A and B are shown apart, each in its own frame.
Chain A
Amino acid sequence: METVLRIQQLNKHFPNGKHALRDVNLNVLRGEMVALIGASGSGKSTLLRHIAGLVVADGASESLIEVDGCCVQRGGRVSRDIRRVRANIGFVFQQFNLVSRLPVLVNVMVGLLHRTPRWRGWLRLFTPQQRAQAVDALQRVGIAECHAQRASTLSGGQQQRAAIARALVQGAKVVLADEPIASLDPESSRKVMEILTRINREDRCTVIVSLHQVEMALKYCPRVVALHQGQVVFDGPSTTLTPALLRELYGVQVDEILPSHTPTPTHAPQSDGVPVHMLPQPALASWRAAGA
């Protein structure tokens, strides 16, 4: 398996002096689905924004980020043809970041701009084929019927799915999802996570998704990278991430990523769509049994 994302020696200090990322080294293989977990302020968003070249690392450093063999940034300088590199990277934001006054279809077709002749893009002249492609993507995320509506009229879950459709038409090889379900209700969260899983499986898209809560990471992602105060403190199969280990990694902050945790595991019935409010030992067991 080839490496699709390579991060070396990544360090980031914010202007206020906070050391947001400390010596992050990370390799992700093509087709992996990786969860990025950690309490708020642990550096998840910052890391993802570095990968998309939206933020630069500390200057005069040895840092390097490569996506699909193309340099995103090196030594605190964004690559010259960053816009071409970004075309390979789909970004799904917590707040969806759609243009609320534009129709859903146009929001999706924004993903096609990087390979549309300039003048067509500037004049919003999309071809019938491009429209069909966007409708297709909307169909895959299950909201094709909303294509003509303004993005602002959609629910949060629908907006997030439209944002995923944008990454789909973009033809992204790596999809970075920054807390995609943090602003959504449980049912919408489930749908969004399932769509991400599906594009990972069907399109062989590499997906890196940052999540606030461990249970979602364990449910959907075979590999987990845990950040704590800007450092990678765990990187491995989600099956080996036990509550005990998490408590060791995060100390008292564990409560933030393991809400309403109780020391003795109860055998809560786990069904699809029902939010599980604690890290369930049985769920971990079933995860292992599934051999994922």
Chain B
Amino acid sequence: MQATRPSAAIALAASTAPKRSLTWYLSWAMLLLLLAASWRGADMRPFDLWRDSGNMATYAADFFPPDFTQWRLYAHEMVITLQIALWGTVLAVVTAVPMALLASANIVPWWVYQPIRRFMDGCRAINEMVFAMLFVVAVGLGPFAGVLALWIHTTGVLAKLFSETVEAIDPQPVEGIRSTGASAMHEIVYGVIPQVIPMWISFTLYRLESNVRSASVVGMVGAGGIGVVLWEIIRGFQYAETGAVMLIIIVTVSAIDLLSAHVRKLLV
């Protein structure tokens, strides 16, 4: 009995090993082929990096030392960027909650969740920058266009994440609520929401982080915040000022990331 075991294991290993290595080789070959095919499309010129390294060093040197003389303006615009991110995220949560419930297969029939899911796919598929450009035309230049852009895109993202959580709940407590004669809305309020709320909070904080990053660029198309300043000084070749603004963005985004990671740990 004991003598046969190792030999059986070897036989098993021998029978599985070549199979695995074949798929392994194939996957790598596929990946390399794909990379090779994309070389020209992506305009890969690695030697230019080396050839023009002198130019780039001069260019990079222009950013230093960063020029903080207008720091009051930068700080003010950075605060506006945070405010855009905050409003965009909060509005998105408000709309994502009903959308998520309407997109969950264990809450509504397929003829409700299928169209809602496709609608949310649409909101998610288009980048904030694109929405920002469209809203700048619709509501004019300024932060409000940025808020609307973040709202639409984040609704699509959060609705998907939220509804995946809803579909993973334990159905037993919900049945417990149902058995008392409570309504469908009660089942959601008492049976579903308490189960998903920790995950929902976590996702929301995560999206708030990414929205601070996004809000700092939507300004580049005129939708308010630090992005507007960044775009103007880059176009004005004011590299020392650009360095200062980039540093401010890095510090703020890192601070928000750390803060939200901390809050998430506390809540979940």
* Chain A residues engaging chain B, CB cutoff 8 angstroms: 52, 54, 83-91, 93, 95-102, 106, 110-111, 113-114, 118, 121-122, 124, 163, 166-167, 170
- Residues of A within 8 Å of B173, CB to CB, are 97-100
Residues 214 to 258 of chain B near chain A (Cβ within 8 Å) = none
Q: Total interface residues on B, using CB and 8 Å?
A: 19
Closest chain B residue to A114 by CB distance?
B181
Query: Known: A97-B173, A99-B195. Is A114-B190 also a contact (CB below 8 A)?
Result: no
Closest chain A residue to B182 by CB distance?
A113
Contacts A54-B175, A93-B179, A95-B172 known; 4 new A-B pairs at CB < 8 A:
A87-B180, A97-B176, A113-B180, A122-B189
CA distance A124 to B191 in the complex (A): 12
CA distance A54 to B193 in the complex (A): 21
Query: Known: A54-B175, A99-B173, A100-B173. Is A166-B180 also a contact (CB below 8 A)?
Result: yes
**Minimal beta-carbon separation of A57 from chain B (angstroms):** 18
- Residues of B within 8 Å of A90, CB to CB, are 179-180
Q: Which of A86, A106, A122 contacts B179 (CB 8 A)?
A: A86
5 nearest interchain CB pairs?
A97-B176, A87-B181, A91-B179, A86-B181, A114-B181
Contacting pair A84 B181 (CB below 8 A): yes
**Minimal beta-carbon separation of B200 from chain A (angstroms):** 12
CA distance A170 to B172 in the complex (A): 19
8 contacts between A and B (CB under 8 A): A52-B179, A86-B180, A98-B176, A110-B182, A114-B180, A121-B182, A122-B186, A170-B181
- Residues of B within 8 Å of A121, CB to CB, are 182-183, 185-186, 189
Contacting pair B195 A86 (CB below 8 A): no
**Minimal beta-carbon separation of A230 from chain B (angstroms):** 22
Contacting pair A101 B190 (CB below 8 A): no
Contacting pair A110 B175 (CB below 8 A): no
Query: Known: A54-B175, A93-B172, A97-B172. Is A170-B183 also a contact (CB below 8 A)?
Result: no
Closest chain A residue to B173 by CB distance?
A99
Q: Confirm or deny: B177 has a beta carbon within 8 angstroms of a beta carbon on chain A.
A: yes
* Chain B residues engaging chain A, CB cutoff 8 angstroms: 172-173, 175-183, 185-186, 189-191, 194-195, 197
Query: Known: A98-B173, A99-B173. Is A110-B181 also a contact (CB below 8 A)?
Result: no
**Minimal beta-carbon separation of A204 from chain B (angstroms):** 20
- Residues of A within 8 Å of B176, CB to CB, are 91, 93, 96-99, 110, 163, 166
Query: Known: A54-B178, A93-B175, A97-B176. Is A83-B195 also a contact (CB below 8 A)?
Result: no
- Residues of A within 8 Å of B177, CB to CB, are 99, 110, 113
- Residues of B within 8 Å of A114, CB to CB, are 180-182
CA distance A97 to B182 in the complex (A): 14
- Residues of A within 8 Å of B183, CB to CB, are 83, 113, 118, 121
Contacting pair B191 A89 (CB below 8 A): no
Query: Known: A99-B191, A99-B194, A99-B195. Is A85-B172 also a contact (CB below 8 A)?
Result: no
Q: Which of B181, B190, B191, B197 contacts A83 (CB 8 A)?
A: B181
**Minimal beta-carbon separation of B106 from chain A (angstroms):** 15
CA distance A138 to B35 in the complex (A): 67
CA distance A89 to B179 in the complex (A): 8
CA distance A100 to B169 in the complex (A): 12
Contacting pair A54 B179 (CB below 8 A): yes
**Minimal beta-carbon separation of A96 from chain B (angstroms):** 8
**Minimal beta-carbon separation of B18 from chain A (angstroms):** 39
**Minimal beta-carbon separation of A17 from chain B (angstroms):** 24
- Residues of B within 8 Å of A97, CB to CB, are 172-173, 175-176, 179
CA distance A96 to B190 in the complex (A): 15
CA distance A46 to B197 in the complex (A): 32
CA distance A99 to B180 in the complex (A): 13
- Residues of B within 8 Å of A106, CB to CB, are 190
- Residues of B within 8 Å of A113, CB to CB, are 177, 180-183, 186, 190
**Minimal beta-carbon separation of A40 from chain B (angstroms):** 18
- Residues of A within 8 Å of B179, CB to CB, are 52, 54, 86, 89-91, 93, 97
- Residues of A within 8 Å of B194, CB to CB, are 99, 101-102
- Residues of B within 8 Å of A118, CB to CB, are 183, 185
**Minimal beta-carbon separation of B172 from chain A (angstroms):** 5
**Minimal beta-carbon separation of A48 from chain B (angstroms):** 10
Greatest chain A CB density within 10 A among B176, B179, B195, B197 is at B179
Contacting pair A111 B172 (CB below 8 A): no
Greatest chain B CB density within 10 A among A52, A85, A89, A113 is at A113
